[in-house]
């Protein structure tokens, strides 16, 4: 390990990974809990969970996913496929001198966490998913499914596929774009009923054209936004967006696991106002089959997509209740 730096949130470390390095922030001692963020975020999205988990007797570790922050950013798009990200998590566990961990993920991190549990049950003994429920591999090729959504509008996942396209929209004004994205998916600032859906792009338009402007969500202070903006202004968005550009590769890579359940003890927490939770309601209903080890599932009222930041105290309580049952 290298560059151990104590900070208010914990200790920053760089540890080796298959791509080069993973940056992480660690707090506390005890059983290892690995926290994996989503798009467009960083380890910082777990700033409320790190001290709470540490105080409860856990070794809480929040990583920058490959492509983000101070973690390695390979140039090859295919380097961001799910199997590579799972091995990054294994490398972190090993670098910290541990044999196993509980893994907790939000947004894309929820998918990484679920597939980590699926592919490496020898390492990941329990899994919690925030905002995005487990959906076993199956169905049509993802690019085909997403292309069929939205009618004449383009779903954001499809919009993100072509390298450079979304970057050209975001990178001239990273801070403004992030503020709009966070507001668009937060319960207190998301567009109201009847407004154009910010997950879709009109023909010839941009994703940000449908973002609300002028007000930050209650959970996001100016200093928080400054932190996120500084990270992406330094790194660019390509590494983060490359996760979306591997969904068809993941579909092929995971073919041997078609329909496979995740059997370890599990937890799901979603926001009742989150479009992702509504779109994937059938996946939540399927939990008895897809997550046979499910301990509990929760939908938080008046909560959007950024659950652990919008409702940190409630999420902390649910996580700690679940962890004590493992």
Catalytic residues: 107, 305
Locate 106 and state its tokens.
């939000």
Cα dihedral 126/131/134/140 (nearest 10): -160
Inter-residue contact 68 to 235 (CB < 8 Å): yes
d(CA 36, CA 89) in angstroms, rounded, equals: 9
d(CA 300, CA 29) in angstroms, rounded, equals: 29
d(CA 235, CA 229) in angstroms, rounded, equals: 10
First to last CA, the chain: 29
Which positions ≥6 away from 71 have C-beta within 8 Å? 17, 19, 21, 22, 23, 63, 64, 65
Residue for token pair 């989150």: 274
Of 76, 40, 71, 100, the closest CA to residue 228 belongs to: 40
Locate 322 and state its tokens.
């679940």
Longest dimension (CA), the chain: 52
């Amino acid at each position: 390990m290298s560059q151990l730096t104590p900070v208010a949130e914990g200790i920053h470390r760089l540890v080796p990974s298959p791509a080069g390095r993973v940056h992480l922030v660690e707090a506390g001692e005890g059983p290892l809990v690995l926290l994996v963020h989503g798009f467009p975020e960083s380890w910082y999205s777990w700033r409320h969970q790190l001290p709470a988990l540490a105080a409860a007797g856990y070794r809480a570790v929040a990583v920058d996913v490959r492509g983000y922050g101070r973690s390695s950013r390979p140039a090859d798009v295919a380097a961001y496929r799910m199997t590579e990200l799972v091995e990054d998590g294994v490398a972190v566990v090993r670098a910290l001198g541990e044999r196993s961990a509980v893994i907790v993920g939000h947004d894309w991190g929820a998918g990484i966490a679920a597939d980590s549990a699926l592919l490496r049950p020898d390492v990941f003994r329990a899994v919690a998913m925030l905002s995005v429920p487990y959906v076993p591999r199956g169905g049509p090729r993802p690019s085909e499914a997403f292309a069929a959504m939205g009618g004449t509008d383009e779903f954001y996942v499809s919009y993100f596929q072509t390298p450079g396209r979304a970057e050209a929209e975001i990178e001239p004004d990273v801070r403004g774009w992030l503020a709009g994205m966070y507001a668009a998916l937060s319960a207190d600032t998301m567009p109201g009923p009847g407004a154009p859906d910010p997950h879709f792009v009109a023909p010839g338009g941009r994703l940000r054209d449908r973002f609300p402007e002028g007000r930050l969500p209650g959970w996001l202070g100016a200093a928080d936004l400054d932190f996120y903006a500084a990270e992406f202004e330094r790194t660019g968005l390509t590494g983060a967006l490359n996760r979306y550009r591997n969904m068809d590769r993941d579909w092929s890579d995971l073919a041997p696991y078609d329909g496979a359940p995740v059997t370890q003890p599990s937890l799901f927490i979603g926001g009742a106002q989150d479009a992702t939770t509504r779109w994937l309601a059938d996946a939540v209903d399927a939990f008895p089959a897809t997550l046979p080890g499910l301990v509990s599932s929760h939908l938080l009222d008046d909560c959007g997509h950024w659950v652990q930041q919008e409702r940190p105290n409630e999420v902390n309580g649910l996580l700690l209740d679940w962890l004590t049952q493992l």
